[in-house]
A and B are shown apart, each in its own frame.
Chain A
Amino acid sequence: MANRTEYWHVLTEPLVRQNPVTLQILGICSALAVTTTLATAVTMSISLTVVLTLAAGIISAIRRHIPDTIRLIVQIVIVASLVIVIDQVLQAYFAEISRALSVYVGLITTNCLVLGRTEAFARHHPPAPAMIDALGNGLGYSLVLVVIGGIRELFGKGELFGREVLPLADAGGWFTPLSLMLLAPSAFFLLGLLVWAVRSWRPEQTEAREHVPPGQMEAAE
């Protein structure tokens, strides 16, 4: 099957090279808000990936029947219905995590990642590649969430998934938790540093200069 490499490409491309969070600036809100602990980050990642994949599949299946002028409304309604289902499932089986996620599950509806992918990809492709693209983007998003959630929980509380990893100084260990890690600013700093790290590793992602200093004009040209 010649298509297999193509599908593999569509699936792995968004993991690092076209990562939705660090390169496309999509879906940042929830990426920062839910990463105080690894458990909420993982729950959010799974919910988003499921919604994104299903929405891409449904929208791409009916893509020839959606009138162009009202397509945004149609897409939002499909996504909102899926989010309601996920929200009810979380409230029923994972009440504690659902409370921790607060309104951010509902906000998957307006997560630019979901609409961005359905608008840019699923609308023009048959269901199979559309769902694979959605899955790849969901996994790329999850990767960022898990990395940031892991760092924040490990250094903020000395725990991973609620289990002690670094013994705390209060309890006779050596680790003093950095409570700043649990506050809002550290999420911004970590994501900024992550973007820096990814772009140093993959220099082709760096943004062009907006202004070239006079001394470097010749060098730049």
Chain B
Amino acid sequence: MTGLWALFLNAAFVDNMPLILFLGLCTFLALSKQADAALGLGVAITGVLGITVPLNHLIYSAVLAPGAWAWAGMPELDLSYLALIAFIGVIAAAVQVLEMILDRFFPKIHAAFGVFLPLLTVQCAILAGSLFMVERSYTLAESAVFGLGSGVGFTVAVVMLGALRSRLAYADLPAGLRGLGIAFVLAGIMSLGFASFAQMAATL
């Protein structure tokens, strides 16, 4: 149990997706002008990561991993090079299904962050979650925890940046730094803070 909790904290803070691993930065910067929109994005990402990483784990271990077809008499068959295409397909399908379910049963939630959902298909953080799961060979439980942890880390970072940027709308910045420039500098300062979480990894 402690192992899973450590993995969760590690995914959320030490290996924070946008600030330390630079994943999902396009949406991180484009949709963080207000804190409440940022929260919607964070929740959507957490949900999709929590679903797709374990789902892709099942597909990878059952179909794509080297030796997965041993029961059919083809032990040397290695389909792992197809992982990328399979993962993207699963993510696109999962996002679509999630959107339909939300639309049918929870129209309020759907209206709240429906705009972000289709975008998540091409979010690098989502695909990277699945790719890291293969590279680090997590088990099914570990991959679910890793997906949720990464999502929570993304939410924390994007909400903080959104809150900072909405205050900065009233600041008198040099013209060239307005908007994107200052967002990078802010992200850099937050990244410095998150870098100190690396110390936490040693003590866990």
B185 within 8 A of A: yes
Q: Which of B165-190 contact A (CB under 8 A)?
A: 169-170, 172, 174-185, 187-189
Mask: chain A, 190-210; 1 = CB below 8 Å from B; 0 = not: 011101111110010011011
- 12 interchain pairs, CB-CB under 8 A: A22-B180, A29-B22, A33-B22, A84-B85, A106-B84, A107-B23, A109-B84, A111-B124, A185-B192, A199-B176, A207-B179, A213-B170
Closest to A209 in B: B178
Inter-subunit contact A80/B84 (CB<8 Å): yes
A110, A186, A207: which contacts B127 (Cβ < 8 A)? Answer: A110
For residue B193, give the distance in angstroms from its CB to the closest CB of chain A. Answer: 9
Interface of A toward B, CB cutoff 8 Å: 22, 25-30, 32-33, 72-73, 76-77, 80-81, 83-84, 87-88, 102-103, 106-107, 109-112, 115, 183-189, 191-193, 195-200, 203, 206-207, 209-211, 213
Closest to A35 in B: B22
A112, A185, A195, A213: which contacts B195 (Cβ < 8 A)? Answer: A185
Tell whether A184 pairs with B20 under 8 Å between CB atoms, given A77-B85, A106-B84.
yes
B128 within 8 A of A: yes
Name the residue in A110, A192, A193, A211 with the highest tally of chain B Cβ atoms < 10 Å from its Cβ: A110
Inter-subunit contact A184/B191 (CB<8 Å): yes
Interface residue total, chain B, C-beta cutoff 8 A: 48
A76, A102, A183: which contacts B135 (Cβ < 8 A)? Answer: A102
CA distance A183 to B193 in the complex (A): 12
Inter-subunit contact B185/A188 (CB<8 Å): yes
B26 within 8 A of A: yes
Across the interface, which residues of A come within 8 angstroms of B195, CB to CB? 183-185
B51 within 8 A of A: no
Across the interface, which residues of A come within 8 angstroms of B29, CB to CB? 25, 28
Which 10 pairs, one residue from A and one from B, show the smallest C-beta to C-beta distance?
A192-B184, A188-B188, A207-B179, A199-B176, A33-B22, A103-B131, A185-B191, A192-B185, A210-B169, A200-B176
B5 within 8 A of A: no
Judged by DSSP, the binding face of A is helix
B81, B131, B135: which contacts A88 (Cβ < 8 A)? Answer: B81
Inter-subunit contact A192/B182 (CB<8 Å): yes
Q: Known contacts A32-B25, A200-B176; can you find 8 more A-B pairs with CB under 8 A?
A: A30-B124, A33-B22, A184-B20, A185-B192, A188-B187, A189-B188, A196-B181, A211-B169
CA distance A98 to B71 in the complex (A): 32
Across the interface, which residues of A come within 8 angstroms of B24, CB to CB? 29
Tell whether A80 pairs with B88 under 8 Å between CB atoms, given A184-B20, A207-B179, A211-B170.
yes
Closest to B129 in A: A103
CA distance A106 to B131 in the complex (A): 8
CA distance A28 to B29 in the complex (A): 9
For residue A80, give the distance in angstroms from its CB to the closest CB of chain B. Answer: 5
B122, B179, B191: which contacts A76 (Cβ < 8 A)? Answer: B122
For residue B73, give the distance in angstroms from its CB to the closest CB of chain A. Answer: 26
For residue A27, give the distance in angstroms from its CB to the closest CB of chain B. Answer: 7
Inter-subunit contact B26/A213 (CB<8 Å): no
B109 within 8 A of A: no
Name the residue in A80, A115, A185, A193 with the highest tally of chain B Cβ atoms < 10 Å from its Cβ: A185
Q: Which of B135-182 contact A (CB under 8 A)?
A: 135, 169-170, 172, 174-182
Across the interface, which residues of A come within 8 angstroms of B122, CB to CB? 72, 76, 110, 112, 115
Inter-subunit contact A106/B174 (CB<8 Å): no
Tell whether A25 pairs with B188 under 8 Å between CB atoms, given A76-B122, A196-B176.
no
Inter-subunit contact B88/A109 (CB<8 Å): yes
Inter-subunit contact B81/A32 (CB<8 Å): no
CA distance A196 to B23 in the complex (A): 22
Closest to A111 in B: B124
